[in-house]
Amino acid sequence: MAKQEDIFKNVVSHAKEYGFIFPSSEVYDGLSAVYDYAQNGVELKKNIREYWWKSMVQMNENIVGLDAAILMHPTTWKASGHVDAFNDPLIDNKDSKKRYRADVLVEDYAEKIHQKAQKEIDKAKARFGDAFNEQEFITTNARVIEYLAKEKEIRERLGRSLGAGDLDDVKALIEELEIADPETGSKNWTDVKQFNLMFGTKLGASAENAMDLYLRPETAQGIFVNFLNVQKSGRMKVPFGIAQTGKAFRNEIVARQFIFRMREFEQMEMQFFVRPGEEMKWYEHWKETRLKWHLSLGLGKENYRYHDHEKLAHYANAAADIEFNFPFGFKELEGIHSRTDFDLKAHEEYSGRKLQYFDPELNENYVPYVVETSVGLDRMFLAVFATSLKEETLEDGSTRTVLQLPAVLAPTKAAVLPLVKKDGLPEVSRKIIEDLKWDFNVAYDEKDAVGRRYRRQDALGTPFCITVDHQTLEDETVTIRHRDTMKQDRVKIAELRGIIENEVSMKNWLMKM
Ligand code: GAP
């Protein structure tokens, strides 16, 4: 089995074993692509959400929050284009009877070619060391040039065919590239067909009077239909933003890869309303700002890249993804879209109400243009969790599993451990917890030898272990152990809050942006 697959399997089993993520309704054998966040997962997820919210809403005077309902008037989805155009191109394999997204089959093929080029680059890097000039190598090495040109050609053709709705050409591309069913190797494909991703539901007590509704496939439309309410009640001046986090639902056809592609998931979206004509300036601004936010978490610059879209969604005049190096390769983590005035104009048209802003500086009314940033909370979780999970070999040859989560996101910030379960040490430990719990999530653990307790906290991602021993009773000092270095310092109990705060405060992390 490939190493990547091993790493990914490890991520999934660690998430379950240590109480981060469980399959939904597991007693009934689960529900495909639906997951529950367990006691530690819910804390990590909450911290990621808060880290995003603070950077968007608290740190920007001109961005405010919103929590719109999941159920919306059904005309919303007609106006937004989702009823007519929120489709995925599907293809079935006639032999295996398996169903795939045709675009994903082609994109995975293109990514494999990219990986071949990357392998050549990595090999040369290892050979030439510090003297290696990557840019020069990419533009002069014949093999790399060939791989990258092929990748570009495939991606561009896919973009063109999807953009033009030419599904026959998507099938032709799959056949020309000789793409096989990833599970069986069969190349016996059906034609490509469109499939709408929205989940339908009904509102109302009786079948005759029930109204057909959809579970929202994105949170963004709740922001658009509230644009004028927020602008007026908040006396907001363009440019301004509305931020929202919440559940979205998509009947994904190929729901694989754990929490990467789910049927029920959470988005963190911000719509930034700007003057028409200024959208490209703001698009560049948000593209850069959002990457800085990701980088502030310290998961490694090399794990991110931009992917500028060839194929634009029906509402966009520019779009880019921030891709992350997941255990199964680079994939979309966040989308930044210049959505023009498409959504507000469409809601004006379908509702018959004006959704315009009076700009006092220009002395005119207009429908603002919108730049959107949209990141999946579950994908953020997976990026952070998978990258942080490490298997380390220690100096004495033993190994440890450590979840090196950014301390600001860790579910529990410190565990307090009495060295033994007697002599008053548990009581002192409880007193320390009573004091720290006002500011931080802290845990108590007295079971097993202290070394095993350290390992357990390492696997949970807890940045600090505080050990109370007999010396504590004499001089009010404890040892504080740092998760990543395993270094232990003897400090006064009164210093603990300051030490923890310094490592976990959102301010210190966000200031790295
Ligand atoms: N409002 C724009 C929008 O919804 P999108 O690219 O379809 O754009 C935005 O989705 C983000 O939502 C993606 O970058 C991804 O992180 C997340 N996302 C989309 N579909 C998802 C799914 N099925 N499961 C988990 N996250 C998903």
Render pLDDT for 287-346 as a digit per residue (tens, 0 to 9).
Answer: 999 999 999 999 999 999 999 997 787 778 999 999 999 998 999 999 999 999 999 999
User: Mean pLDDT over residues 445-455, rounded?
Assistant: 96
**Does the pLDDT value for residue 430 go beyond 50?**
yes
Closest CA to 346 of 97, 85, 46: 85
* Structural domain includes residue 44: yes
Same domain, 493 and 356: no
What does R_g of the chain's alpha carbons equal in angstroms? 26
Same domain, 153 and 220: no
CATH number at residue 431: 3.40.50.800
Angle between helical axes of 41-53 and 377-388 (0-180°, round to 10): 120
Cα angle 170-373-77, degrees, rounded to a multiple of 5: 65
* Structural domain includes residue 3: yes
Ligand 1 and 265: CB distance under 6 A: yes
Closest CA to 332 of 311, 313, 307: 307
Same domain, 248 and 265: yes
Instruction: Single out the residue in 375, 391, 407 at which a domain terminates.
Output: 391
- H or E element that contains 442: strand 442-444
**Does the pLDDT value for residue 1 go beyond 60?**
no
* Residue 355 neighbours by CB under 8 Å, 6+ apart: 224, 227, 228, 344, 345, 347, 348, 367
Question: Hey, which of 379, 380, 382 would you mutate to test ligand 1's pocket, going by the most ligand atoms within 8 Å of its Cβ?
Answer: 379
Same domain, 210 and 110: no
* Structural domain includes residue 473: yes
Q: In angstroms, what is the span from residue 402 Cα to ligand 1's centroid? A: 29
3-state secondary structure 125-171: HHHHHHHCCHHHHHHHCHHHHHHHHHHHHHHHHHHHHHHCCCHHHHH
Q: Can you tell me the distance from the alpha carbon of 121 to that of 3, in angstroms, rounded to the nearest whole number?
A: 20
User: Which amino acid makes up residue 399?
Assistant: T
pLDDT of residue 167: 95
* Structural domain includes residue 82: no
For the CA of 261, the nearest atom of ligand 1: 24
The verdict on pTM exceeding 0.95 is: no
What percentage of the chain has pLDDT greater than the value 90?
A: 89
In total, how many domains does the chain have? 3
pLDDT of residue 286: 98
Same domain, 230 and 317: yes
pLDDT of residue 163: 81
Q: In angstroms, what is the span from residue 480 Cα to ligand 1's centroid? A: 40
Q: Per 3-state DSSP, what percentage of the chain is helix, strand, and coil (rounded to 5)?
A: 45, 25, 30
Structural domain including 240 reads: 1-74+197-391
Model confidence at 471, pLDDT cuts 50, 70, 90, reads: very high
How many CA atoms, within 13 angstroms, populate the side-chain half-sphere of residue 50? 14
For residue 64, the cross-strand partners are: 242
pLDDT of residue 4: 75
pLDDT (tens digit per residue) in 32-43: 999 999 999 999
Give binding residues for ATP as ranges: 250-252, 260-265, 332-333, 376-379
Cβ(193)–Cβ(90) below 8 Å: yes
Summary count for the chain: helices (H), strands (E): 18, 23
Same domain, 67 and 51: yes
* Structural domain includes residue 446: yes
pLDDT of residue 310: 77
pLDDT of residue 89: 93
**Does the pLDDT value for residue 134 go beyond 50?**
yes
How many CA atoms, within 13 angstroms, populate the side-chain half-sphere of residue 32? 7
pLDDT (tens digit per residue) in 491-506: 999 999 999 999 999 9
Lookup: tokens for 396: 């004495």
Q: In angstroms, what is the span from residue 200 Cα to ligand 1's centroid? A: 19
Give binding residues for substrate as ranges: 101, 218, 265-269, 372-376
Cβ(390)–Cβ(401) below 8 Å: yes
* Cα dihedral 469→474→475→478 (10° resolution): 10
Torsional sign, CA 333, 336, 337, 343: positive
Model confidence at 254, pLDDT cuts 50, 70, 90, reads: confident
* Structural domain includes residue 189: yes
SS3 35: strand
pLDDT (tens digit per residue) in 174-214: 999 999 999 899 999 999 999 999 999 999 888 778 898 99
pLDDT (tens digit per residue) in 354-364: 999 999 999 99
Burial of 480 by CB count in 10 Å (0-12 exposed, 13-18 middle, 19+ buried)? buried
Residue 296 per-residue DSSP state: T
For residue 194, the cross-strand partners are: 89
CATH number at residue 230: 3.30.930.10
Q: In angstroms, what is the span from residue 511 Cα to ligand 1's centroid? A: 27
Same domain, 162 and 179: yes
- H or E element that contains 470: helix 470-475
Q: What is the largest CA-CA distance in the chain?
A: 80
**Which of 80-89, 326-335, 385-394, 433-442 comes out lowest in average pLDDT?**
80-89
How many CA atoms, within 13 angstroms, populate the side-chain half-sphere of residue 488? 10
Ligand 1 and 456: CB distance under 6 A: no
pLDDT (tens digit per residue) in 92-104: 999 999 999 999 9
Look-up of token digits 């600090």: 464
User: Which amino acid makes up residue 197?
Assistant: L
User: Mean pLDDT over residues 240-269, rounded?
Assistant: 93
Mean pLDDT (the chain) is 95
What percentage of the chain has pLDDT greater than the value 70?
A: 99
Instruction: Single out the residue in 174, 194, 214 at which a domain terminates.
Output: 194
Same domain, 189 and 201: no
Same domain, 387 and 287: yes
Ligand 1 and 348: CB distance under 6 A: no
Same domain, 66 and 130: no
Give binding residues as ranges: 101, 218, 250-252, 260-269, 332-333, 372-379
Closest CA to 376 of 405, 437, 331, 333: 333
User: Which amino acid makes up residue 231?
Assistant: Q
* Structural domain includes residue 79: no
Closest CA to 335 of 321, 324, 323, 325: 321
Same domain, 185 and 204: no
* Structural domain includes residue 81: no
pLDDT (tens digit per residue) in 66-89: 999 999 999 999 999 999 888 889
Cβ(331)–Cβ(323) below 8 Å: yes
pLDDT of residue 169: 96
For residue 513, the cross-strand partners are: none
If one counts every other C-beta atom within 10 angstroms of the C-beta of residue 110, the result is 19
Q: Can you tell me the distance from the alpha carbon of 55 to that of 362, in angstroms, rounded to the nearest whole number?
A: 30
Q: In angstroms, what is the span from residue 83 Cα to ligand 1's centroid? A: 17
**Does the pLDDT value for residue 150 go beyond 60?**
yes
Cβ(481)–Cβ(496) below 8 Å: no
Same domain, 50 and 185: no
Instruction: Single out the residue in 194, 218, 236 at which a domain terminates.
Output: 194
